[in-house]
Amino acid sequence: MNKHPYIRAYLAGIAVPTVFLLVVMSAYTTIRHVSEVPLPIERVIVFPMAVVPNAWGLWNVLYVAFLERRHIPLGLFGGALLLLLVPGGYVVTRLLNFDIPHVVLVAAPFNLPIALIVYYLVWKHIVGFLNAELGIS
């Protein structure tokens, strides 16, 4: 299992958001089309569908390539990815003229700490587990 560590790191990185996307998209499709909720999120779905999983994969490749040998905690490094994704996600909504629901904007001060905790835990435990299973850490 010494071959292609970066491909394995990429695959371990994209696994979590890819699985979450399946769950989220199923829930969203049900809510949007069955309950007819007027929230055209399909306009900005490109961000969680394409950008986020690839960012996770590349972030894990960066970690395995440069930071693992320096004993930088994976959870903290994974949490730092959010600091890139949040402004990126906001820019996508602005570029595509997507109106963020008012309730989400009101809760914005709480979003970052909660998301940081979730990112930290997911990277530390799930991505770390996948890295170990794939023999890259």
Partner 1 sequence: MSEREMEEIKKLLKKSLPAMGDVELRRDLWPAMQQRLAQASVHVPWWDWALLASAGVAMWLFPATIPALLYHL
Which chain residues interact with partner 1 by CB under 8 A?
16-17, 20, 24, 44, 47-48, 52, 82, 85-86, 89, 101, 103-104, 106-108, 110-111, 113-115, 117-118, 120-122, 124-125, 129
35-44 own/partner pairs: CB under 8 Å, 24+ apart? 39/101, 40/98, 41/98, 43/96, 43/97, 43/98, 44/92, 44/93, 44/96, 44/98
State in angstroms the smallest separation of the CB of 58 from partner 1.
Answer: 16
Q: Look at residues 112, 113, 114 and name the one whose alpha carbon lies nearest to residue 89.
A: 112
Q: Which residue number, 47 or 63, has a Cβ lying nearer to partner 1? A: 47
Give me the least distance between CB of 75 and partner 1, in Å please. 9
Residue 5 or residue 77: which is nearer to partner 1 going by CB? 77
Please provide residue 73's backbone torsions phi and psi, each rounded to the nearest 5 degrees.
-60, 135
Q: Which is nearer to partner 1, 1 or 106 (CB)?
A: 106
Closest CB to partner 1 among residues 52, 61: 52
| In the complex, least distance from residue 4 CB atom to partner 1, rounded to whole angstroms | 26
- CB of 101 vs partner 1, minimal distance in Å: 7
